[in-house]
Amino acid sequence: MSRRKKRSRRSKKKVGLKKLYTLIAPKYFNEVELGFTPAKDPEQILGRTVEITLSDITNDFSVMHIKLKFKVTEVIGEKAHTEFISSNFTRDYLRSLVRRSTTRVDGIFNIKTSDDYKVRVTSLVFTESRVADRHKYSIRKIMRELIEQEAANLPFSKFVQDIIYGKIATKIYRKAKDLVPVRKAEILKTKVVKTPAAS
């Protein structure tokens, strides 16, 4: 028997010993199934990450551009429970927002939720036409104050929901359009920087 065949049989045996664990979203994402991951031992799964789109959770194709990342934090039986760690937009969607003769205003803010999660939030606003620097400053101030206020008054789970489902972006849009004509407001990225347990 050739070495290749021996190696092939050994590798099949190794794969056969692995179990498939179901990846489960957090409660604030309705504990839907996110997929499966193989492992010989449950401890091997801890810390693994999975990236999906919001449409995989909601079955709504209009939110395919929102990418979500989760990390396995606990394994119970054959279920690997996860926590949300970040969100982002697809590049194609971001490119579709860009228009000529408009201004893009970005803001990156490190905030803390009411239950002491530290999160980095990247927001952006596109205006209908070019605006002066003073208006950029004012829009960025609106972003910061609103995001910080929302975070301070909400637990992490609710804050993440309001970010992902567009509630906070809508509030930014409504406030900013009182200052200048605004075409779009979005929360581009979120990233969990520190959890209370790690503080």
68 exposure class (CB count in 10 Å sphere: 0-12, 13-18, 19+): buried
Band (199; pLDDT cuts 50, 70, 90): very low
What does the pLDDT average to over 37-44? 92
pLDDT tens-digit map of 133-150:
999 999 999 999 999 999
**Predicted local confidence at residue 186, as pLDDT:** 97
Tell how strand 33-39 and strand 66-76 pair up.
unpaired
* Residue 197: per-residue pLDDT: 72
Which CATH code is given to the segment(s) 98-198? 3.30.479.30
Distance CA 118, CA 130 (A): 34
Task: Compute the mean pLDDT over every residue in the chain, rounded to the nearest whole number.
Answer: 91
Grade residue 92 by pLDDT with cuts at 50, 70 and 90.
very high
Say how far apart CA 103 and CA 129 lie, in whole Å: 6
Radius of gyration of the chain (CA): 21
Q: Are the C-beta atoms of 169 and 187 separated by less than 8 Å?
A: yes
Domain ranges of the chain: 3-89, 98-198
Mean pLDDT for 167-194 is: 97
pLDDT per residue as tens digits for the range 4-21: 444 444 444 444 578 999
